[in-house]
Amino acid sequence: MSDDIRQRIGLRPVVNVSGTMTSLGASIVVPEAIKAMTEILPQFVEVNDLQRKASALIARLTGAEAGFVTASCASGISLAVAGAITGPNLLAIERLPDVAPEKNEVIVQMGHVVSYGAPVDQSIRLAGGKAVMIGQATSTHRFHMEQAINEKTAAAVFVVSHHVVNYGLLHLTEFVEIAHAKGVPVIVDAASEYDLKLFLAQGADIALYSGHKFLGGPTSGIVAGKKELVRNAFLQNMGIGRGMKVGKESIVGVMAALEAWEKRDHAGIRERETGYLNLWKRTLDGRPGITALIEPDPTNNPLDRMRVIVSPPDAHITAWDLAAALGRGNPPVIVRDHEVEHHYFYLDPCNLHPGQEVIVANRLAEELDKARASNEIIATPLEDRSRHRFDGMLRWPD
């Protein structure tokens, strides 16, 4: 019998070079979190008191006044927005989202309305908020924000992500300055960010993190910030937050992951990942139609990824067909392909078990050799990819 639980229950043993993606299980949970979760699972606790303990730890590591653990960063957006709308009014909390106080508008830049698997503005609407999108997709100026804020504005949401437009928009410090000048709190969605202190230090009132990405905790979200605003968000657990709750194991798991984060050998991890990237570059350099570039993270996280640029006439395959072939093979290698229509994809080294970097190199060579041996260029119409993107979901669970 296989030691790999995935094979025992009939799942593909995928190798993840896409990154900390929820659809793949986010990240490798650190041993400290696994141990803590195992220890708490047979025990009973008073969950609100456990969240108090988590609050103190979150405050210490983020520079916040308070914090708590919720189901995900998307949940954190909804809870923080709801808290800004209702304050501590328990009746208002019970009546969300369809009966929201009149002060329920939430400012967000048009170029920040992205999807992490669901739209950011939907997290706002779930809280009873009305998303007020300012500027255009690639252009937001001070006047857009200044003139959008009025007596109905409850909060402003700022998204930090490689998915957002990275030019022509308001930077966080300017966004905070404009909001605070009119008494509006700023909520920062920093789901996939490495620096736990930066955004609060730059003036955000609440910063939201995923507990299950770089931290290596269980699936969860972290809400951190000013005590009153965090408390108002926490109170939403008596309302819309009920469907976003976490168990004792997730709270304890996040606490253990945070403590492990302080002791982690970050430099050693970066050195190991650099070795993976260099191996892949050696594997790809000199191959016809392939350019391999090692690039820094676009939101200044302290890590690099590899961009694999594919020229179909020389490689005999398109970037999207190569990505698909890697994902279909044995073992399946899942790459970061959300920009593949631009003829490239990324390899992210941050979620590999020892030895898997060699598997990735071998699979790259295997698929590229197969393509070069083809008499014709393997080029599925890009429109087919779009047309069939959701076929699997629409057939689920079949």
Pair (342, 368) in one structural domain: yes
User: Which residues share a beta bridge with 366?
Assistant: none
Q: What is the pairing mode between strands 130-134 and 105-109? A: parallel
> Could you tell me the pLDDT band of residue 215, with boundaries at 50, 70 and 90?
confident
Q: 248-263 vs 47-62: helix axis angle to the nearest 10?
A: 20
Residue 11 within any structural domain of the chain:
no
Query: Is the pLDDT score of 2 beyond 70?
Result: no
Domain end point (choices 230, 246, 263): 263
Torsion-angle region of 224 (φ positive above 0: left; ψ -120 to 50: alpha; else: beta): beta
Distance separating alpha carbons of residues 352 and 20, to the nearest angstrom: 11
Pair (138, 215) in one structural domain: yes
Q: Which of the pair, 166 or 293, is modelled with greater confidence?
A: 293
User: Which residues share a beta bridge with 69?
Assistant: 222
Pair (251, 369) in one structural domain: no
Distance separating alpha carbons of residues 359 and 356, to the nearest angstrom: 5
Q: What is the mean pLDDT of residues 371-391?
A: 88
Tokens standing for residue 86? 């209702």
Q: What is the pairing mode between strands 304-310 and 344-347? A: antiparallel
Domain end point (choices 242, 263, 284): 263
Residue 15 within any structural domain of the chain:
no
At 3 the pLDDT is 82
Residue 17 within any structural domain of the chain:
no
Residue 4 within any structural domain of the chain:
no
> Could you tell me the pLDDT band of residue 1, with boundaries at 50, 70 and 90?
low
Query: Residue 310's domain spans which residues?
Result: 266-393
Q: What percent of the chain has pLDDT over 90?
A: 75
Query: Is the pLDDT score of 143 beyond 60?
Result: yes
Pair (51, 184) in one structural domain: yes
Judged on CB neighbours under 10 Å (0-12, 13-18, 19+), 208 is buried
Residue 215 within any structural domain of the chain:
yes
For 48, residues 6+ apart whose C-beta sits below 8 A from its C-beta are none
Dihedral (CA of 238, 242, 248, 250) sign:
negative
At 10 the pLDDT is 84
Pair (236, 165) in one structural domain: yes
**What is the value of pTM for the model shown?**
0.92
Q: What is the mean pLDDT of residues 196-208?
A: 95
In CATH, what number is assigned to the domain containing residue 283? Answer: 3.90.1150.180
Residue 344 within any structural domain of the chain:
yes
Total of domains in the chain: 2
In CATH, what number is assigned to the domain containing residue 252? Answer: 3.40.640.10
Pair (289, 326) in one structural domain: yes
Pair (226, 85) in one structural domain: yes
Whole-number CA gyration radius for the chain: 22
Pair (121, 236) in one structural domain: yes
Lay out the sheet containing 105-109: strands in order across: 66-70, 221-225, 206-210, 186-189, 153-159, 105-109, 130-134
Pair (318, 338) in one structural domain: yes
Pair (241, 275) in one structural domain: no
Smallest Cα–Cα separation from 22: which of 374, 334, 279?
334
Residue 21 within any structural domain of the chain:
no
Pair (88, 163) in one structural domain: yes
Q: What is the mean pLDDT of residues 106-125?
A: 92
Q: What is the mean pLDDT of residues 227-231?
A: 98
Residue 12 within any structural domain of the chain:
no
pLDDT tens digits, 10-55: 888 889 998 878 777 788 899 999 999 999 999 999 999 999 999 9
Domain end point (choices 232, 263, 294): 263
Pair (217, 192) in one structural domain: yes
